[in-house]
Chain A
Amino acid sequence: MAQPLNFVLNVPETPEDHSSQEPSPYDESEVHDSFHQLIQEQSQWVAEEGLELQQREPGPGGPETSGCGQHALPGPEDALAHSAATLRVLASMPSRTIGRSRGAVICQYYNRSVRLRRRVSRPELKGVGRSARPSLRLYDLELDPAALQEEEKRFLLVKELEGLPVAQRNHMLRGMPLGLAEKRCLREETQTPTEKQRGRQGPRGLFPCCGRLRDACVLALHSLGLGLLAGLQALKPWRHALKQIGGQFGSSVLSYFLFLKTLLAFNALLLLPLLAFIVGVQAAFPPPAPPGSVPSFMGLELLTGGGRFTHTVLYYGYYSNSTVSQPCVPPPGGGQCSREADSLPYSMPLAYLFTVGLAFFITCITLVYSMSHSFGESYRVGSTSGVHAVTVFCSWDHKVTQRRASRLQHDNIRTHLKELLAEWQRRRGSPSACGQLRRVAVRGLVWLLSLGTTLGCTVAVYAFSELMIKSPVSVEQEGALLALPVVVCLLNLGAPYLFRCLAALERHDSPVLEVYVAVCRNLILKMVILGILCYHWLGRRVGTLKDQCWENFVGQELYRLMVLDFIFVLLDTLFGELVWRLISEKQLKRREKPEFDIAGNVLELIYGQTLTWLGVLFSPLLPAIQIVKLLLIFYVKKTSLRANCQAPRRPWLASHMSTVFISLLCFPSFLGAAVFLCFAVWRVKPSSTCGPFRGLNSMYEAGKAWVRHLEEAGPRVSWLPWVHRYLVENTFPIYLVSALLLAVIYLHIQVVKGQRRVICLLKEQISNVSALPPPARPQEALFAPQMTPGPAGGRTKRSGSEAAPPWGALRDRAPALGGCGSRPRQRKAAFSGRRPRGAAVSVRVLEVLEIALGLLGGPAPGHGPCSLPSFSKQVE
């Protein structure tokens, strides 16, 4: 670390560098060198800590002590003046210069655009490690002894912007916190003459005589287009409804409806290929009708899904097992219609298999993508600390537009703040061992009870399903088929209320934990029940329904479950929300309405979606039914919400919770359904009397047979059987791919871990520094003027001569950060060596954090050069 200081610093004090207005790599290297110099000086200070401490004793701070500290510095004499300049570099790190004045903003964006332009024009620099230090180059201006005035900066900014491509320039302008008028001015100034000409002349060209006509046409088209756009705005689904909900209940309740919208999109995505390749084709070319009369429509079918519906496109059994053919119209002569003549080359079994597979694959990709996107949005490093500040700065929901809702939000925030304060006071005295023990016991008991309830429900469902198998239902009493779904729905409805009562017994520290526990219990219940049902269908029913179409039966069961689930949601809304509100208003004389249970409702949605995914193979139209159901639920819930409910009192981490829910949708729900379907496709023998796969040993065999058929067809498509044989049937490639994938994941985990460790170290450093008492007032006053930009003009007012002496003093008390080399590891060594002192050090830590951003992978375009927000973003 303590390398000899063998080079003399060459800070560009030369104004002629700037007369050219052309930033060169030479400047950058100089600034970099001076930066390096500073670092080394400070490492020296680290080494000579003892000496410095002694010197600090007599005079606590002040410019004159810096003078006597200087001779301890082994560097060349003239380096001192330069290092003062270098320190100014640090002082002008963007974190400090961005005041609210317009001049500072312009200045900052000038710097930003310089960086951008350099990146564009000299990509070869990018490869060099140096470009990973985004903020170094920016300070050549600051080193100029005469600080540039605002107009000059502005001029420079305009010049810089001129060098950028148009799209980038607009992007940059858009991101500037300046007024629109200012932006338009800048844009006007930065347009090069050719662009202006192009803009002015535009489409008018060779035929000026047609110009007027063309103008009229363009105008008419323009207004027509605008009208269409306005129409589109109205079509944007539920914009107004969502705005209303957001305005009345805030983001938390809105997240439920947004989740519902997401589910709708998923179902539409699932339904489209099914509709196009299976249902549509089969409906256009219906298979021969089954023997026997078609039962008439009775109305009960809407609930049971049987009867009239059985032989329709709704269920698996309807689909033919051959290539699609025209309906056979017997020729007048009474002969047989020839099958071969009018058959189309569209094999239904293959279409069925591949379409379902493809639809699932698309859903999977979309789901994983949206999950990772959501994670990126909601996961922030260190989001647990700083609750008070975050609460105060971020808790107001600007979407809220109603006075009542706004008052409620005031109340919620006040309660939350008071709770936070009380929490801190309470945390001082740790609870007694007895109280702790009692709490653990109560929690254990509650968990035991809820798991026992889950077990009881499971056993009940299992016993009931066995009972249903033992007493087969005749075709006439179809209503009896509803018994099992009703039991399941009742359990699903009742158990959550029981869980809620139990949860009232235990007291959790944080409301978030409370929600998690509730979600966890409900999820376990629902998944276990669905698991038992799946076993019942694939394990037991397939065996008992020998001569019938078991796929149809499973499809109908899922249909029934779904319809009844919808009915129970309606009942729950009616009794849980409406009646409860009436009771609490009329009888209990409470002013407050019941709260909307977001977690419970979202879990209901996830459950319904799982049912849909489970049933897609057996009933391809199930997503359509789910879409209808979701649409109805949207309106019912919205009406009930506005009439009966109020927003939850607890703070709700909307983006965090929606991430959790999307992951729940992905992990147990989608994955479980996929496993179920894979098992059904690979292992279970399809029924021999119906469906596209009749006569085969498994549905998968249809694919195999097709490959064999291809092999025979000729050499033209021989690669496909080859692919099949070596990649699908042979297990080795699968192992190889999974091993590679695991290795990549492992590497990524390691990288993230390393980055996280660096962050932890830096954060620790910051909190270490912050925990120390602030320095005495006179010292603080020394560097305070440099720290904070003035109201107008920011730090550009300061002249170089003013700045030097205080900074020298500052350096004396801020020797901590050594080793700002190119490796986090080096910095770590520098950190761990000593305990930092004083506030100035914390400033430095901030700077290092900023630099670390560059090290961890360069700044994203459009973000601050090295501001902390983008730093934490990088880590994600």
Chain B
Amino acid sequence: MGGSGSRLSKELLAEYQDLTFLTKQEILLAHKRFCELLPPEHRSVEESLQIRVSLEQILSLPELKANPFKERICRVFSTSPARDSLSFEDFLDLLSVFSDTATPDIKSHYAFRIFDFDDDGTLNREDLSHLVNCLTGQGEDTRLSASEMKQLIDNVSSRAGPGSQREGLGLGLKLSLPQILEESDIDRDGTINLSEFQHVISRSPDFASSFKIVL
């Protein structure tokens, strides 16, 4: 195997170790896995640190394959201008955030960015419905219906849109549902910003253990 012969230098390894939440072994393993994605002629250490791997190749990793957020994850961690490729350092960043020892702070920060599909710095209704669709599966039959989605994301009774008017008669009047926006949008601007998001996340002790990718 080409990857086994080429090792990172000691200084670089120490630096990576200082700047990420990964252990030495994990960094070495990550490098090995990263090199396996490269074509055989580019597997030397110097080249592996420079070259970028395209999104498709990263997405073919078994650890990411089944993840519905895989593309978002790669885009968030990519530093290339077009956000379509990952260098080894980006890859390490990704693994560091998803590692065991990363702080909840940084985990929730990146979770927020992953869920922020349009990259505008807040989670608005479109982001939320996109997120729910990712969670329930993208297929037509697996999605939530439009009314369910609306009900889930924001409060039917208080937002009087043309669609919710009808529902408002049936069930919306008493239905001051503390749904997602109700529950987490503290300043009531219709979107969820980072601190509101982190506030919600802090209530779930399982977040840190589920927001984890083991290489």
Contacts and interface: CB of A to CB of B under 8 A. Distances in A.
B114 to A, nearest CB: 10
B183 A174 contact: no
B202 A872 contact: yes
Interface in A369-423: 377-383, 385-390, 392-403, 405-407, 410-411, 413-414, 417-418, 421
Interface string A172-213: 011111011101100100000000000100000000000000
Contact of A383 (B68, B180, B203): B203
Given A170-B19, A174-B20, A780-B189, A388 B179 contact: yes
B181 to A, nearest CB: 8
Contact of B187 (A654, A843, A863): A843
B67 A406 contact: yes
B136 A410 contact: yes
Contacts of B175: 424-425, 428
A101 B121 contact: yes
A791 B124 CA distance: 13
B66 A380 contact: no
B189 to A, nearest CB: 5
Contacts of B137: 407, 410-411, 414
A468 to B, nearest CB: 47
A871 B104 CA distance: 13
Contacts of A181: 79, 87, 89
Nearest to A863: B105
A116 interface: no
B203 to A, nearest CB: 5
B214 A246 contact: yes
B84 interface: no
Interface string B104-141: 11101111110110011110000010011011110000
A401 B179 contact: no
B93 A868 contact: no
A366 B175 CA distance: 49
A873 B176 CA distance: 30
B173 to A, nearest CB: 10
A784 interface: yes
Contacts of B185: 770
A800 interface: no
B187 A839 contact: yes
B122 A396 contact: no
Interface in B165-215: 171, 174-180, 182-189, 191, 193-207, 209-214
A839 B104 contact: no
Contact of B90 (A98, A179, A398, A656): A179
A770 B186 contact: yes
A403 B65 contact: yes
B34 interface: no
A707 to B, nearest CB: 48
B41 interface: no
B213 A389 contact: no
Contacts of B29: 233
Given A380-B203, A410-B136, A842-B188, A788 B198 contact: no
Interface in A213-269: 218, 222-223, 226, 229-230, 232-233, 243, 246-247, 251
B121 A398 contact: no
B48 interface: no
Chain A's interface size range is 35 or more
A15 interface: no
B170 to A, nearest CB: 10
Contacts of A533: none
A829 B204 CA distance: 31
Contacts of B19: 170, 173-174, 180, 183-184, 187
Contacts of A770: 182, 185-186, 188
Interface residues of B, number: 96
B24 interface: yes
Nearest to A377: B205
A79 B24 CA distance: 57
Interface in A844-876: 845-846, 862-864, 867-873
A401 B213 CA distance: 9
A774 B195 contact: no
Interface string B1-38: 00000010011000110111100110011000000000
A839 B191 CA distance: 13
A686 interface: no
B105 A388 contact: no
Contacts of B144: 414, 417-418
B81 interface: no
A869 B108 contact: yes
A399 B210 contact: yes
A867 B198 contact: yes
Given A179-B93, A183-B19, A868-B199, A417 B152 contact: yes
A378 B105 CA distance: 16
B161 interface: no
A647 B166 CA distance: 39
Among B89, B120, B132, B206, the most chain A Cβ lie within 10 Å of the Cβ of B206
A773 B182 CA distance: 11
A172 B211 CA distance: 22
A175 B19 CA distance: 8
A180 B187 contact: no
B213 A399 contact: yes
B62 interface: yes
A278 to B, nearest CB: 37
Contacts of B92: 180
B210 A388 contact: no
Given A388-B180, A787-B187, A868-B195, A394 B106 contact: no
Contacts of B105: 175, 862-864, 867, 869-870
A95 interface: yes
Interface string B72-113: 000001010000000101101100101000011110111111
A170 B14 CA distance: 11
B194 A99 contact: yes
A762 B110 CA distance: 28
B63 interface: yes
Nearest to B113: A100
Contact of A846 (B62, B103, B183, B195): B195
A266 to B, nearest CB: 21
A411 to B, nearest CB: 8
Interface string A262-288: 000000000000000000000000000
B13 to A, nearest CB: 9
Contact of B183 (A179, A232, A247, A386): A386
B186 A229 contact: no
A780 B144 CA distance: 31
B71 to A, nearest CB: 14
Contacts of B20: 174, 180
Contacts of B104: 869
A417 B132 contact: yes
Contact of B111 (A251, A382, A393, A790): A393
Nearest to A236: B25
B164 interface: no
B203 A773 contact: no
Contacts of B121: 99-101, 788-791, 794
A790 B63 CA distance: 34
B135 A392 contact: yes
5 contacts: A173-B18, A179-B89, A180-B92, A187-B18, A872-B203
7 tightest A-B CB contacts, nearest first: A95-B195, A869-B202, A406-B66, A410-B137, A180-B89, A868-B199, A386-B183
Interface of A: 94-96, 98-101, 170, 173-177, 179-181, 183-184, 187, 199, 218, 222-223, 226, 229-230, 232-233, 243, 246-247, 251, 377-383, 385-390, 392-403, 405-407, 410-411, 413-414, 417-418, 421, 424-425, 428, 653-656, 766, 769-771, 773-774, 780, 784, 787-791, 794, 839, 842-843, 845-846, 862-864, 867-873
Given A390-B200, A400-B66, 6 more contacts: A230-B28, A389-B183, A392-B152, A398-B69, A417-B135, A843-B186
